[in-house]
Amino acid sequence: MDREPQRNSLDAYWMPFTANRQFKGNPRLFASAEGMYFRTTDGRAVMDGVSAMWCSNAGHCRPRITEAIRTQAGEMDYSPAFQIGHAKAFELANRLAAMMPGGLKHVFFTNSGSESVETALKMAIAYHRLRGEGSRVRLIGREKGYHGVNFGGMSVGGMVANRKMFGTLVAGVDHLRHTHGDPRNFFSKGEPEYGAELADDLERLVQLHDASTIAAVIVEPVQGSGGVIVPPKGYLKRLREICDRNGILLIFDEVITGFGRLGTPFASQYFGVEPDLVTCAKGLTNGVIPMGAVVAQTKIHDAFMQGPPNAIEFFHGYTYSGNPIACAAALATLDTYEEEGLLTCVASLAPYWEAALHSLKGARNVVDIRNIGFMGAVELAAGPGGPAQRGFAAFLKLYEAGLLCRTTGDSIAFAPPLIAEKSHIDFLADTVGKVVNNID
Ligand SMILES: Cc1ncc(COP(=O)(O)O)c(C=O)c1O
Q: Whose CA is nearest to atom 3 of ligand 1?
A: 147
DSSP labels, 183-198: GGGTT-SSS-SS-GGG
- Tell me how many domains the chain contains: 2
Of ligand 1's listed atoms, the one at least distance from the Cα of 290 is: 10
> 408 in a domain, yes or no?
yes
pTM exceeding 0.85: yes
| Helix or strand run (H / E) with residue 253 | strand 249-253
Are 350 and 381 part of one and the same domain?
A: yes
Are 185 and 329 part of one and the same domain?
A: yes
Are 30 and 78 part of one and the same domain?
A: no
Of 314, 339, 364, which residue sits at a domain end? 339
Are 97 and 230 part of one and the same domain?
A: yes
Domain carrying residue 123? 67-339
Side by side, which strands form the sheet with 375-380?
A: 366-372, 375-380, 411-414, 406-408
C-beta 117 within 6 A of ligand 1? yes
Are 231 and 380 part of one and the same domain?
A: no
- Closest by CA position to 197, among listed 229, 222, 234, 223: 234
C-beta 276 within 6 A of ligand 1? no
The CATH code of the domain that includes 135 is 3.40.640.10
Whole-angstrom distance, CA of residue 250 vs CA of residue 246: 11
> 245 in a domain, yes or no?
yes
Are 258 and 112 part of one and the same domain?
A: yes
Are 53 and 72 part of one and the same domain?
A: no
Are 229 and 120 part of one and the same domain?
A: yes
Q: Whose CA is nearest to atom 8 of ligand 1?
A: 113
Of 339, 371, 404, which residue sits at a domain end? 339
Are 387 and 403 part of one and the same domain?
A: yes
Whole-angstrom distance, CA of residue 36 vs CA of residue 46: 9
What burial class does residue 316 get, using C-beta atoms within 10 Å of its C-beta: 0-12 exposed, 13-18 middle, 19+ buried?
Answer: middle
Are 243 and 391 part of one and the same domain?
A: no
> 62 in a domain, yes or no?
no
User: Tens place of pLDDT for every residue, the chain, 440 residues?
Assistant: 455 555 568 999 999 999 999 999 999 999 999 999 999 999 999 999 999 999 999 999 999 999 999 999 999 999 999 999 999 999 999 999 999 999 999 999 999 999 999 999 999 999 999 999 999 999 999 999 999 999 999 999 999 999 999 999 999 999 999 999 999 999 999 999 999 999 999 999 999 999 999 999 999 999 999 999 999 999 999 999 999 999 999 999 999 999 999 999 999 999 999 999 999 999 999 999 999 999 999 999 999 999 999 999 999 999 999 999 999 999 999 999 999 999 999 999 999 999 999 999 999 999 999 999 999 999 999 999 999 999 999 999 999 999 999 999 999 999 999 999 999 999 999 999 999 999 98
The span from the first CA to the last CA of the chain, in angstroms, equals 41
Of 304, 323, 339, which residue sits at a domain end? 339
